[in-house]
Amino acid sequence: MNVNNAVMNLPDEMLHITLMGGQAKVLLCRTTAMARKAAEIHAPSSTALAAMSRLMTAAAMLGVMMKDDEASVTVTVAGDGPIGKMTAVAHGGKVKVSAAHPEADLPLKKDGHLDVGGLVGRHGRLTVIKDLGLREPYIGQCQLVSGELGEDFAQYFTVSEQQPSLVALGCLVHEGYCLSAGGVLVQAMPGCSEEVLEQLELRSVFFTAISREVADVPLEDLAGAWFDGLDMRILEREPVFCRCDCSREKMEKALIALGRDELRQMIDEDGRAELTCHFCRTSHHFTRQELLDLLERASQ
């Protein structure tokens, strides 16, 4: 990374790209500000920040692939590592994330890299739930491959969605601060020629340090260089960001959904309620009177 340019603060965004007239599709994104926002909210360890950032980046990719504005995608990684269960939810490029133990950490690996695979765990499940609004949700699952998340999402796309895919996710962290984050997803479409597949394999080496690559170079320049000679076209670019969509109104609905008995018990035993959103850590307080009002509404 060029230190002089490192302060350029290029914006977070997602590029939708086609290669060779649609034989392959690419999503390329920078998610640095997204990771920093998640770090502000969850105060994760360096390794946990890398894990959460990679998950958010993948969720943003899945989110922007859903064409419907009402649609959302929920990605859960339940590995056997110390970070515990992680969840990210994306509406288009708007993503929120949570982890059971963001404070968990592990020593660096022998190669000096953060041990994301160890923190997430190498055994477990990756689940993707696509909520398509009125229709039945689509649920896809696969076993974790390494817990490093890039390989795990490649496995998910290739096995569960039967869409051969290359995935690279990265987050460069220094003492708990995200210097740079991003990702790339390359998918060969049905009918993709052997020559193009071969070219994509060859060029996948460019993606191995994705977080450094996106740090100080505009994404269109990166794509132009990586996919030179493959008729690279940018179809669309859109912002991606970390934001929670919780509200007091949603918390009220959640309380009402508990049902009369549970609400009554809460009023009698605690005389108040405090609900904290797992995604943005905002606490919502409800007084006894407010709970009584909700109890009234629950009975209607």
Based on the shown chain and the rule CB under 5 A, indicate whether residue 277 belongs to the binding site for Zn ion: yes
Based on the shown chain and the rule CB under 5 A, indicate whether residue 94 belongs to the binding site for Zn ion: no
For the bound state, the minimum distance from the C-beta of residue 278 to Zn ion, rounded and expressed in Å, comes to 8
Select 30 or 91, whichever has its Cβ closest to Zn ion.
Answer: 91
Lookup: tokens for 277: 């959103």
Based on the shown chain and the rule CB under 5 A, indicate whether residue 97 belongs to the binding site for Zn ion: no
* 15, 244, 255, 263: residue in contact with Zn ion (rule CB under 5 A): 244
For the bound state, the minimum distance from the C-beta of residue 281 to Zn ion, rounded and expressed in Å, comes to 7
For the bound state, the minimum distance from the C-beta of residue 215 to Zn ion, rounded and expressed in Å, comes to 29
* 181, 279, 284, 298: residue in contact with Zn ion (rule CB under 5 A): 279
Select 135 or 248, whichever has its Cβ closest to Zn ion.
Answer: 248
Q: Which amino acid makes up residue 126?
A: L
Tell me, by CB under 5 A, how many residues bind Zn ion.
5
* 90, 280, 294, 298: residue in contact with Zn ion (rule CB under 5 A): 280
For the bound state, the minimum distance from the C-beta of residue 209 to Zn ion, rounded and expressed in Å, comes to 33
Select 157 or 279, whichever has its Cβ closest to Zn ion.
Answer: 279
Among 183, 181, 242, CA closest to 29: 183
Select 42 or 130, whichever has its Cβ closest to Zn ion.
Answer: 42
For the bound state, the minimum distance from the C-beta of residue 190 to Zn ion, rounded and expressed in Å, comes to 39
Based on the shown chain and the rule CB under 5 A, indicate whether residue 226 belongs to the binding site for Zn ion: no
For the bound state, the minimum distance from the C-beta of residue 277 to Zn ion, rounded and expressed in Å, comes to 3
Q: What would the 3-class secondary structure string for 133-195 be?
A: CCCCCEEEEEECCCCCCHHHHHHHHHHHCCCCEEEEEEEEEECCEEEEEEEEEEEECCCCCHH
Specify the stretch interacting with Zn ion by CB under 5 A; choose among 98-106, 121-129, 221-229, 273-281.
Answer: 273-281
For the bound state, the minimum distance from the C-beta of residue 89 to Zn ion, rounded and expressed in Å, comes to 10
* 78, 159, 179, 246: residue in contact with Zn ion (rule CB under 5 A): 246
For the bound state, the minimum distance from the C-beta of residue 275 to Zn ion, rounded and expressed in Å, comes to 10
Based on the shown chain and the rule CB under 5 A, indicate whether residue 240 belongs to the binding site for Zn ion: no
241-242 and 94-99 strand pairing: parallel
Select 234 or 246, whichever has its Cβ closest to Zn ion.
Answer: 246
Write the DSSP string, the chain.
--GGGGGG-PPPEEEEEEEGGGTEEEEEEE-HHHHHHHHHHH---HHHHHHHHHHHHHHHHHHHH---TT-EEEEEEEESSTT--EEEEEETTEEEEEES-TT---PPPTTSS--HHHHH-SSEEEEEEEE-TTSPPEEEEEE-SSSSSHHHHHHIIIIIS---EEEEEEEEEETTEEEEEEEEEEEEPTT--HHHHHHHHHHGGGGTTHHHHTTSS-HHHHHHHHTTTS--EEEEEE--EE-----HHHHHHHHHHT-HHHHHHHHHHTSSEEEE-TTT--EEEE-HHHHHHHHHHHT-
Select 38 or 166, whichever has its Cβ closest to Zn ion.
Answer: 38
Lookup: tokens for 39: 């770090």
Select 42 or 203, whichever has its Cβ closest to Zn ion.
Answer: 42
Specify the stretch interacting with Zn ion by CB under 5 A; choose among 163-171, 186-194, 198-206, 236-244.
Answer: 236-244
Which residues contribute to the site for Zn ion (CB under 5 A)? Answer: 244, 246, 277, 279-280
